[in-house]
Amino acid sequence: MTVAVVGAGAIGGLLGAHLARSGQDVILIARGPHLAAMQANGVTVHSRQGNFTARPTCTDDLSAVAGADVVFITLKAHTIPGVAERVGGALRRDASVVGAMNGIPWWYFPDRHLQSVDPGGVIARSIPLEQVVGCVVYPAATIVEPGVIDHEEGDRFSIGEPDGAKTERVQRIAGMLTAAGFKAPVQARLRPEIWLKLLGNATLNPVSAVTRATLAEMFQSEDSRRLIRALMQEVAAVARAIDVELPVSIEKRMQGAAAVGEHKTSMLQDMEAGKALELDALLGAVIEIADWRDVDVPFLRALYGLAKLAEAVGKRD
């Protein structure tokens, strides 16, 4: 298959490198020094399983998705509206679009768009729902220098149709990911898994941006554990308000996060790099759903305000 990866940063580059190594025809769409390095030297992946370099096609031209059977969107969620029309306009009608990003995805509610995720519904208008395949991303990776990706942990991409059907296309994509060295379970109920990951992303990521703490540091004191527990309880309450029961307890989710150790969340990495934070898809969307379903989330609102302030101060510095 021909596979395009829109937003080939750490996760997109990791994904594309593995797919290219397994024999797929891969097009990585990126920009800046990272793109230049990949064009010159390929994509190098460092991991505990060993290092390798792949040499897929690399470009900054979004129209390159026109030749793809499968398009992975691995951009930060807040940047997707800015490219949605160009990507959607170039797609083949039979192409599958896999939304591989954090937070509540734009397709989550078929009959309602979240302003925090899809302002004005531009993504939904540009990318037909029937072409969308859902995805929950678990690998943690960092660009350590342009063209070089450190794969820290995780090898799972859970995928599923928005309606839960086990279609031929979703099984074909899962097979392709498995052949590339990933775990790729096809989930009939992807939404609870989205919320399970969001339970951490909506809380730990903004906390890290405000405090600059690693995951290990967040769980060192009972005070911080109590705060994180309260934040996660509010996220779980919002999930229940839209009939989603989390498959794992909050205590177990906290234990899993603490076990990761001295890891900087992607939001903390963005904060340190002076980049815009992925706050709205991760936390703003939860608050927007809470408003819709009349769920009281005072801790989440306070965290959102603090994170927005930290972002503004960081840009000023």
Instruction: Say how far apart CA 217 and CA 136 lie, in whole Å.
Output: 26
CA angle 182, 20, 198 (to 5 degrees): 40
- Are 304 and 312 in contact by the 8 Å Cβ rule? The answer is no
Those residues with Cβ within 8 angstroms of residue 121's Cβ, 6 or more apart along the chain or in another chain? 113
- Are 51 and 77 in contact by the 8 Å Cβ rule? The answer is no
The SS3 assignment for 225 reads: helix
CA distances from 149 to 73, 100, 228, 311 (A): 18, 18, 30, 25
**End-to-end C-alpha distance for the chain, whole angstroms:** 46
Task: Report the relative pairing of strands 148-153 and 25-29 from DSSP bridges.
Answer: unpaired
* Of 7, 23, 14, 266, residue with least CA distance to 147: 14
Q: Can 197 be counted among the known catalytic residues? A: yes
Distance of CA 297 to the CA centre of its chain: 23
Query: Which one from 166, 183, 197, 275 is the annotated catalytic residue?
Result: 197
Question: How many residues does this entry show for the chain?
Answer: 317
Task: Report the relative pairing of strands 70-73 and 57-59 from DSSP bridges.
Answer: unpaired
The SS3 assignment for 112 reads: coil
**Residues paired with 151 in a beta bridge:** 141
Catalytic residues: 197
